């Protein structure tokens, strides 16, 4: 079961490899993005960032297949972009919790800093809204497990993206 789905375009880093993995109690981390899954360098390097953890680098389709084939495994999915998370959720798969972690600004896009660590475009905001709709109308943001949880849709509205 996908216990936790985090949207974080930095993928695996210290916060994920140490704090979130322990907090969630997951047995596996899946980095989910079609392009990353085709990059042999990232497929080799990303598992090194989370030593002592099972790390899989999958496309959206491979993530869904793995979850289906391993229903009793506690899985932590890190989606690179909101679209990756939406592609998973629109299949009807149930996820324990969804969190927008970090989203570094992408050069050449018309982004707005929604929080100190999350940049989004209007297109991203629409996808986040669809994710929330598939998650009972809510979507949260939380940097670290010990940080407070915020209503990410409210943050998007405050940033005038919704």
- Residue 4 is a catalytic residue: no
User: What is d(CA 103, CA 84) in angstroms, rounded to the nearest whole number?
Assistant: 13
pLDDT 10s digits, 75-88: 999 999 999 999 99
Catalytic entry in 1, 3, 10, 13: 13
Kindly state the average pLDDT of the residues 31-48: 95
159 CB neighbour count, 10 Å cutoff: 16
Does the pLDDT at position 19 exceed 90? no
Q: CB–CB of 32/78 below 8 Å?
A: yes
pTM: 0.94
112 vs 22 pLDDT, higher one: 112
Which CATH class for the 2-158 domain? Answer: alpha beta
Kindly state the average pLDDT of the residues 23-37: 93
User: What is d(CA 132, CA 136) in angstroms, rounded to the nearest whole number?
Assistant: 6
Residues in CB range of 89: below 8 A, 6 or more apart:
5, 95, 98, 131, 134, 135
Q: What is the pLDDT of residue 39?
A: 97
Does the pLDDT at position 16 exceed 80? no
In the structure, what pLDDT confidence band is assigned to residue 18 with cuts at 50, 70 and 90? confident
- The residue extents of the domains of the chain are 2-158
pLDDT 10s digits, 96-145: 999 999 999 999 999 999 999 999 999 999 999 999 999 999 999 998 99
């Amino acid at each position: 079961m996908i216990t936790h789905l985090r949207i974080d375009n930095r993928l695996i880093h210290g916060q994920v490899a140490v704090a979130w993995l322990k907090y969630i109690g997951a047995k596996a981390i899946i980095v989910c993005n079609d392009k990353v899954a085709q990059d042999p360098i990232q497929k080799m390097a990303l598992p090194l960032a989370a030593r002592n953890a099972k790390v899989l680098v999958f496309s959206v389709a491979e993530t869904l297949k793995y979850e289906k084939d391993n229903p009793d495994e506690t899985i932590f999915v890190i989606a690179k972009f909101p679209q990756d998370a939406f592609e998973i959720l629109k299949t009807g798969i149930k996820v324990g919790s969804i969190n927008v972690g970090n989203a570094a600004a992408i050069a050449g896009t018309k982004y707005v800093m929604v929080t100190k660590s999350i940049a989004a475009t209007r297109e991203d905001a629409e996808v986040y809204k669809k994710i929330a709709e598939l998650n009972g109308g809510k979507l949260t943001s939380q940097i670290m497990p010990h940080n407070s949880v915020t209503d990410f849709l409210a943050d998007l509205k405050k940033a005038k993206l919704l």
